[in-house]
Structure 1
Amino acid sequence: MAITDSFTKWLLSYLSDNPWYEEGYKSSLTPDESFFQTLFMMSPYKETRHDYLHYVDWTSQDGKVKNSPNTLTMDDYDAMKNSGYLMARKFDMDVEKKVILKLSADNILLEKNVKS
């Protein structure tokens, strides 16, 4: 995640003025997955977000709401390679190691979200 200086200043000011926010996350089950994201979407900067870096497949094959991106396999290789994105997520060595090795061999940047 990359954030601007102006958002950082807003965030620090918000946390200083609202100590309850940080306190509420101390016993949260997933603080790392929602702390900054929630603050960002509460901020006046929420319309400035950009997704220029990651290829992520959130499509649902069964019509159900997804709470996690699809694990990428060789079936996704061409779409990833042609997407123009710098990184991709999510990979799992237990699901398919071949796509990870192929991308590494092609010198394509991988997010360090590979489950080993």
Structure 2
Amino acid sequence: MAIVDDEECVRTALAGLLRSVDVHSDLFESGLRLLEHDLSHFTLVLSDIQMPGLSGIELLDRIHSIAPDLPVALMTAFPDAEWRQRALEKGAYRFLAKPLDADAVIAMIEGLLGGAGQA
């Protein structure tokens, strides 16, 4: 699994949460950094929407042009209806509001992986 957020505290908190359920994650401070890697290594990308440079929506478009079947969940601290609609219309796997609900994140990942770890 890849976690993309410009805030280090968010990345590390999410990585710790995922470790608690035996899911490995790679952390990226920007979408451009993620795109430098082979996307086939990931089963899910969890990205912030509002970041400097490449936004989460733009990252979603780029990922889907390279790896159309790779699920991308988007998260934001500003969850309004417009962002949600735009994300889902672009093909986001999920739209999550910050602060994230730990149980909801774990349920999303377990649902995607069928209960198995190693995202």
State if a TM-score over 0.5 links the two structures. Answer: no
TM-score scaled by length of structure 1: 0.34
Q: TM-score, normalised by structure 2?
A: 0.33
Structure ranking higher on relative contact order (CA contacts 8 Å, 6+ apart): 2
Structure number with larger C-alpha Rg? 1
Larger strand proportion of the pair: 2
